[in-house]
Structure 1
């Protein structure tokens, strides 16, 4: 059987070949036209010739998402949201890691000049002037899922982490917890800096002092278990807020290993509200930082930037919410 052609798709959809091309290339089209073309593509099993398409329009129709840790559930959620948006526009998504060093992040951005993708969504752990410079000079559009200075002149989507910490502290105080500790990831990272400041400000608003603060080596489950012994014993604290869910679950495992109960002895709150929060035992109260919404908005900004490189950069802030589960009373 011969391979379906774009002309066959046009005939099946009852539209012109140009209209099919517009839809497949992710260009503006009416909802009705888009639906007719997509239905015809599915019925015929049409697969575009990616090589010919790329040569014709000067695009790879491939986009890159770069995150610090592809195994972190929050990045998996973000990846799914980005992929849903870009695939609907006719792009493939390639996921890669930035590495934990800003030098690796810079190298990744500069590597975009090799032309293997039409744009990049990057979620950097660390930001410095070299990274900002490389983003500004990048030969393809870049959207940052994170916080960079406004002077970078780049589209950004970030979470309001300080407000999220405030929601967690307010919740614990309302439940009668006063001796609250904070377990952060590396403080020199973008999320580490924002969440540390948020914790200090939230306690000050309640006229409280931290029961303790500790810094894990990374934002991972093993790092959470390893850092937990640096927190005070139960009785000297009655709650712990952790900078993400992986750290929080690590802390809960360490508490259980020492015969302590969550939440009876120590309440625990995480951040990200990932799938892990619902799967942990007990289920983890966690701050939802809108990872899916951030991924979706970042993908939309990238597609808009690809179509119009002159548009004014946007800075979007996604607001948090608190998902209360059994790890807090």
Structure 2
């Protein structure tokens, strides 16, 4: 063979695109291990690149966690259990990256260190800079959550579950419902609130938007709202997540309000945080561990070239319990 052998010639010889060859040689592509090894092997035989120029797989998966992940949120603990179990079975180790909302510096440091083959993100914000950055680097990424960017996504249908639980409450005579939601910039909270509104629309009922509170974060906020319940003749409080629900139950107790005799309570997310309350809490059951397991399995498949940036929705269950009965 005369002349300098090029990547384009290699692509022609193997019957693949130039971009496939480029991804295999850089180690940054979403192609299977077997195909990548074949391209690298022939590239070496043809003298296209020296062995040192081929980036090898690290065997690590980068996990991007919010800095507040351990601040009382059972979701992240249970989710990480599923991720770790599935990645260990797939032969991978994990690297944790703790990052504040929309701060891409820690994420960028991890990517530029070239210590990870792929990435899993555990929260989606409206206009999320971290997801936007990771979706642009050419490596497999999985989001546990939903967004409109080009990354694989593992989630549950929070609009549907929010609608179903709200319709159940309304159908059982709980008309004066207060909705307490978390940060309004979180995509999951936006979806749950949308489901709440859709329930009223489907039943042909009018929703009193003055009874909807978003960005409820602190115990003090919840205590203040609960103190107003008697004045507003509230008969049910629907909590956006398990942490809010736990704090609401404590505030009701401090104000001498019984569940469900004086106030029905339900949560749009169940967790171990709610297990010790009596009566048991009506809630949406979404397995955070299953979400983590599915995300880990998805990233392993993507690294093997067996999966693309698809979106998978896991099922949920309504746990209809004593906290909304017999009021």
The answer to whether the 8 Å contact 2:156/2:315 transfers is: yes
Q: Choose which of 149, 153, 157 in structure 1 pairs with 2:154.
A: 157
**Pair 1:177 & 2:136 matched:** no
Structure 1: gaps spanning 5 or more residues: 1-26, 29-55
Q: Show the counterpart of 1:202.
A: 199
Query: Alpha-carbon deviation of 1:208?
Result: 2.9
Structure 2: gaps spanning 5 or more residues: 1-32, 35-53
SS of equivalent to 1:287: strand
Cα distance in 2 between the residues matched to 1:223 and 1:145: 30
1:7-26 alignment runs, 5 A limit: none
Query: Alpha-carbon deviation of 1:323?
Result: 1.5
| Larger of the two Rg values belongs to structure | 2
**Pair 1:67 & 2:65 matched:** yes
TM-score, structure 1 normalization: 0.73
Bigger mean CA offset, 227-236 vs 58-67: 227-236
Q: Choose which of 193, 197, 207 in structure 1 pairs with 2:190.
A: 193
Deviations 1:270-317 (A, max 9, x none): 1221111212343222111232222111111111112228x5321111
* RMSD (Å) for aligned C-alpha atoms: 2.7
Work out the number of aligned pairs and report it.
269
Q: Choose which of 320, 324, 327 in structure 2 pairs with 1:328.
A: 324
Q: Show the counterpart of 2:21.
A: none
Query: Alpha-carbon deviation of 1:82?
Result: 0.9
SS of equivalent to 2:139: coil
Cα distance in 2 between the residues matched to 1:113 and 1:246: 35
Q: Tell me which of the two structures has the higher relative contact order, counting C-alpha pairs closer than 8 angstroms and 6 or more residues apart.
A: 2
After the TM superposition, list the runs of 4 or more consecutive aligned residues in structure 1 that deviate by more than 4 angstroms: none
TM-score, structure 2 normalization: 0.74
Cα distance in 2 between the residues matched to 1:108 and 1:139: 18
Q: Show the counterpart of 1:90.
A: 91
Deviations 1:68-91 (A, max 9, x none): 333210111111111111111122
Cα distance in 2 between the residues matched to 1:125 and 1:241: 22
Query: Alpha-carbon deviation of 1:159?
Result: 1.6
